[in-house]
Amino acid sequence: MFHTVVRQIRVAYPMVVFGCYLLAFVTAFAMVFMLPVGALLLVFVGLMGLIPVVTVAVALRAFERPLARAKLQRGDCPACGEHAIESVSGALESAGAGGAAHFCRACGTGFSQRGEDMVLPEPTTL
């Protein structure tokens, strides 16, 4: 439950930040004609705002990983919550999974050993 909330926040966070920056852009564009100093100030606030934005994004991912690993160890999917986790090992070195990963049979989402979402490579049939 707690992991689901953290995951939803992490998934929605980039779009919320994008919306804030889009709003700042529209405000700055309007300010160019009325108060040019305000537009310049918004540019600096936007650039300096990247530091806390990236810090929060990294912290959210770091906070979510142990919660996702706990779910994976129980066999529950961190994305859909179904008890359908299957461990996949070998032939995943190229995907950056370190040789092992988890795969949900219900929703098809792949998870790395660290608990992060990942795209599993398609099985080769050659």
Residues at the interface with Zn ion (CB under 5 A): 77, 79-80, 104, 106-107
Tell me whether residue 88 or residue 104 sits nearer to Zn ion (CB atom). 104
Report how far residue 102's alpha carbon sits from residue 109's, in angstroms, rounded to the nearest whole number: 9
Token pair belonging to 107: 């929703």
Report how far residue 77's alpha carbon sits from residue 111's, in angstroms, rounded to the nearest whole number: 9
Shortest separation between residue 108's beta carbon and Zn ion, angstroms: 7
Tell me whether residue 92 or residue 104 sits nearer to Zn ion (CB atom). 104
Sheet holding 110-112, edge to edge: 85-89, 100-104, 110-112, 117-118
Tell me whether residue 4 or residue 13 sits nearer to Zn ion (CB atom). 4
Shortest separation between residue 100's beta carbon and Zn ion, angstroms: 18
Shortest separation between residue 94's beta carbon and Zn ion, angstroms: 23
Token pair belonging to 51: 């530091």
Contact 78, 66 (CB under 8 A): no
Could you please report the per-residue DSSP string of 84-107? -EEEEESS-GGGTSTTEEEEETTT
Tell me whether residue 77 or residue 92 sits nearer to Zn ion (CB atom). 77
Shortest separation between residue 46's beta carbon and Zn ion, angstroms: 37
